[in-house]
Structure 1
Amino acid sequence: MKKLITMAAAAALLAGFGASAQAQTATYTLDPTHTFVTWEALHFGTSTNRGRFDKKEGKIEIDRAAKTGKIDITIDMASISTGVAPFDNHLKSKDFFDVATHPTARFQATGLSFDGTKVTGVKGTLTMFGKTQPVELKGSRFNCYENPFFKREVCGGDFETTIQRSQWGSTYGLPGIPDNIRLLIQVEAVKQ
């Protein structure tokens, strides 16, 4: 009888360990002070215009053991900032982002690539102007650390891609203002 109880206890312990090993998904909320979506576009082949979106929010789920995850980020398009107010206003107009009609953009992903426990790529969709197109981001410097201020784990990295704005219907100024827009995303998210 004692042997049967010991075996039952060992089985229960192993079952509990297996359940905890499988339940590795962690949820993170974007840290707005360390997350920026920056863009670059050539200006008539002469110089590079740059700007960023200052307001964004979202959640990231990652299971580093299973190498899976989900991302859902919303960007406030009216928060575009180039440092030049008249240029910002033009970008917010119908010529470019038409923020009165399309106030947000949304990135969603369920395909993450890993090298060990580090995220090296993200496949998802970007919705702007009511159109959804596939987007693939290349990641670098992915890292997780214990943040001394939040007293929680923070994960993040740098991600980038180049999109063709015409795929979403943004054609103003083509070809003088190129179709290709480089997106650079600096992201850090706090474990919940």
Structure 2
Amino acid sequence: MRTSLFALAAAGLFATAVQAAPATYAIDPTHTFATFEIDHMGTTTNRARFDKKQGTVEFDREAKAGKVEVTLDMTSVNSGTPNFDKHLQSADIFNVAKFPTAKFVSDKFVFDGDKLKEVTGQLTLLDKTQPVTFKANKFNCYPSPMLQKREVCGGDFEATIDRTAFGVDYGVNFGASKQVRLVLQIEAVKQ
């Protein structure tokens, strides 16, 4: 009987440990959008997106911890204006011939109670890595009716960076803004 109780207790601990393990999610590119905005001489706002992106999310709901890795294909930048896209891809700005990808790797999920508040990590752009904190405007997990009730987690996140910290300084000398707003809307499917 003692052995049975020990085995039952061990099984319970093992089950708890398995449930507490982080789950892995693959980013759904059809429900994930990476965009940026930059002030254009105090008059308008230039916007563009990256059409190709991939990545993974690890999320441990019990521990309120996780990790995100998102890679952007910089050659897929799309402003809706082909000539502007060519300039964005040029050595003046993203230099995609030399640096075809950018990557964000998180190191911490910050919660306020049960609500995800922010995700901190490192952004690598033009082979320069800087810390970036994305504020969570929304975050939720749900059983997707389109994917046989598989769990999907995601949210809307934003950060503002100084682009010159990454060596993107085109136009600063004639008054173009250094500040760029990054917006990441991400959904990822549990694997």
| TM-score relative to the length of structure 2 | 0.94
User: Percent same amino acid among aligned pairs?
Assistant: 51
In structure 2, what is the equivalent of residue 42 of structure 1? 39
Specify the SS of the correspondent of 1:159.
Answer: strand
Query: Gaps spanning 5+ residues in structure 1: where?
Result: none
Equivalent residue for 1:58, pick from 55, 59, 66 = 55
Structure 2, unpaired ranges of 5+: none
How many aligned positions are there?
Answer: 189
> After the TM superposition, which residues 132-171 of structure 1 pair with which residues of structure 2 at under 5 Å, given as runs?
132-151=129-148, 152-171=150-169
When normalised by structure 1's length, the TM-score is 0.93
Q: Does 1:107 align with 2:95?
A: no
Say which one has the larger Rg. Answer: 1
Which residue number corresponds to residue 180 of structure 2?
181
CA RMSD of aligned residues (A): 1.4
Matches within 5 A, 1:57-76: 57-76=54-73
**In 2, Cα distance between equivalents of 1:7 and 1:133:** 52
Report SS of the residue matched to 1:33.
helix
The equivalent residue for 1:120 is: 117
- Correspondence 1:4 to 2:16: no
User: Cα distance, 1:5 vs. partner?
Assistant: 4.1
Please give the alpha-carbon distance, in whole angstroms, between the structure 1 residues aligned to 2:52 and 2:5.
Answer: 56
- Are 1:43 and 1:176, in contact at CA under 8 Å, matched by a contact in 2? no
Query: Which stretches of structure 1, 4 residues or more, deviate above 6 A after TM superposition?
Result: none
Contact 1:52 1:81 in 2 (8 A): yes
Looking at structure 2, the residues matched to 8 and 37 of structure 1 have their Cα atoms a distance apart, in angstroms, of 51
